[in-house]
Structure 1
Amino acid sequence: MGAFDELPGESSHDYIEMEFGGRSGIWELYGYVDFFNVLNNDSSDKAGSDRIFAKFAPRMSLDGLTGKDLSFGPVKELYIANQTVINGGAEYSFETTTIDPDTGENVVASNEPLYQTFIGLGSDVEVPWLGKVGLNLYGMYDLNAKDWNGYQISANWFKPFYFFENGSFVSYQGYIDYQFGVNDDFAALNSSHGGQMYNGLYWHSDRFALGYGLKAYNDVYGLKDGGLAGKTSGFAHYVAATYKF
């Protein structure tokens, strides 16, 4: 994959992504692992930064667990949902000292690797044209701070909409992760909300896919745009060439 102007940091870089998922009984799993700066290029925007970003999102079907059909209206199935996000390790964490613009005092901002887990209620919802959309509402537990900190609503979709005679097709696929109720006491760094939306157009065959994605950011990860984290709102572009196992 290639990322261009990815936020925060307006980073442009190449990377390898392993994406996986499936269903087994009452369990459903989706996840991916990203490996940055594959050739260890000193001129890469990711040089000297964490190499790994991972997301694991298992869900356990409440319908399957209880043996009852819990569907209603457009909601087709309910789940206990989890999502864990890990960004690299402690090797590249650092601290910076700056001035809080609200108080004029010197403050220390720690840039710890992201390590958060979310747990809540999940569902599959039938949406006009898009079809089945995964929709989850979580509470977020920050494993660095050892504290609950806000909520997140997430949605994901995969909609084939144009088919070719050879069986390949074009899809609109993507996701939304939006956090709210985040602690923003440190106003120079944090916002009370923030999120991202990925909009992808991909061509798929049985074994290959080629795609372009436009990602929109708004105070992503609850980091204030223009604050200590820099630019955290805007747009980034992605290209992908995929082989399917």
Structure 2
Amino acid sequence: MALCACRGVPHALLATALLLPLLAHADQEPLDTPAASGETASYETTEDAPRSAYLSDWYNQNVTVIGSKNIRFGPQQIDDIYLEYEFFGRKGPLDLYGYIDMPKFFGIGNAADSGIFDNGSPIFAEIKPRLSINELSGRDLRLGPISEWYLAANWIYDWGRNSDNRQNTLYTGLGTDIDTGTPLDVSFNFYGKYQWENYGADNENSWDGYRAQLEYSYPLASFDNGASLFYAGFTNYDFGSDLGDGDTTRTNESVVATNAFVYSFTHLRFLAVARYFHNGGQWNDGSELNFGDGDFSVRSTGWGYYLGVGWQF
């Protein structure tokens, strides 16, 4: 779903949600088998282990049509209907999540929206790899509730038609998984940010700030029709930037909190997302701007929404 370091919807947390029907379909395969731990992509089948409904037993994919409303990563709110390809999985030490969006793919959006077919960005992509330090070192590195440590990165790229319409951001740092002793899954990542292109902003080509990211998910229900309902959320806190220094329309910090509900069958899935922005995209809420069509007030604080229907394969 893209438009900043997060046009995509609920990102890595949705990956966990989407795994539920996959795991349910595995006929209760023991967790210590190679396939369950993501160590093989074999298609060998037996009566006890029938072939998976998916193309791979560790690399998960889906294509989703998403409608968005009041998205606040830029100075003007965006409404859009677009196409998203999402992928994720765990194999050995690699924990991978990513998506590629094609903005305004169906030609539907508000006046501030542009995309793949009307001189806007043809793609918006985000890739989030993490490498397990536990597995790379071969050691049990548990520390209190922290069960696993990662080398973590998050690369975001918006392929705009020129440099003033392009974003290229790299976050790097450490990640963790936290054992809550309950069905609640929690992860925490802490990144430093290097900013290449940023739609012509003053912080381009510099190290500029940090991101603290808390991710959480919880299975809500399973149904007799084979469907499952799952909650997934995350909160990004960006701080320590210099972007707001000397520019009253920008800020040095921002917060985005995402709440997603996923209703999922083996292949078909539906999602509903409510996302709260505080100075989204580091735009100062209430500041005045003029892009040549008259003055307007930035509305970067408030709620945005997404609805989607997709196919997992």
TM over 0.5: yes
Of the three residues 252, 255, 259, the one matched with 1:195 is 255
Q: Which moved more, 1:55-64 or 1:35-44?
A: 35-44
Moved over 4 A (4+): 41-45
Q: Which moved more, 1:157-166 or 1:142-151?
A: 157-166
Deviation of the 1:187 alpha carbon: 2.7
Query: Would you say the 8 A contact 1:130–1:157 is kept in 2?
Result: no
Q: Which amino acid aligns with 2:128?
A: A
Q: Which moved more, 1:158-167 or 1:72-81?
A: 158-167
Q: Which amino acid aligns with 1:54?
A: A
Equivalenced residues, count: 227
Of the three residues 187, 201, 219, the one matched with 1:160 is 219
Equivalent residue of 2:134, what SS? helix
Equivalent residue number for residue 241 of structure 1 = 309
Q: From the superposition, tell whether residues 186 and 55 of structure 1 become closer, same or farther in structure 2 (CA, over 3 Å).
A: farther
Query: Would you say the 8 A contact 1:160–1:172 is kept in 2?
Result: yes
Equivalent residue number for residue 13 of structure 1 = 80
| Unpaired stretches in structure 2, ≥5 consecutive residues | 1-65, 198-203, 290-296
Deviation of the 1:4 alpha carbon: 0.7
Deviation of the 1:170 alpha carbon: 0.7
Q: CA–CA distance in 1 between the matches of 2:149 and 2:229?
A: 29
Equivalent residue number for residue 148 of structure 2 = 77
Q: Which has the higher contact order (CA 8 A, sep 6+)?
A: 2
Q: Deviations over 1:67-114 (max 9, x none)?
A: 111112221100010001112224373xxxxxxxxxxxxxxxxxx422
Q: Deviations over 1:162-213 (max 9, x none)?
A: 1112331111112222201111213323212102111011211111111210
Q: Which moved more, 1:22-31 or 1:41-50?
A: 41-50
Query: Would you say the 8 A contact 1:182–1:222 is kept in 2?
Result: no
Q: Deviations over 1:113-145 (max 9, x none)?
A: 221100011001124655222210000010232
Q: Structure 1-normalised TM-score? A: 0.85
Q: From the superposition, tell whether residues 128 and 194 of structure 1 become closer, same or farther in structure 2 (CA, over 3 Å).
A: farther
Q: From the superposition, tell whether residues 214 and 63 of structure 1 become closer, same or farther in structure 2 (CA, over 3 Å).
A: same
More strand by share: 1
Q: From the superposition, tell whether residues 81 and 43 of structure 1 become closer, same or farther in structure 2 (CA, over 3 Å).
A: closer
Deviation of the 1:33 alpha carbon: 1.1
Equivalent residue of 2:162, what SS? helix
Equivalent residue number for residue 272 of structure 2 = 212
Q: CA–CA distance in 1 between the matches of 2:110 and 2:209?
A: 37
Q: CA–CA distance in 1 between the matches of 2:83 and 2:275?
A: 18
Q: Structure 2-normalised TM-score? A: 0.68
Q: CA–CA distance in 2 between the matches of 1:164 and 1:77?
A: 32
Equivalent residue of 1:65, what SS? helix
Aligned CA-pair RMSD:
2.0
Identity across matched positions, percent: 26
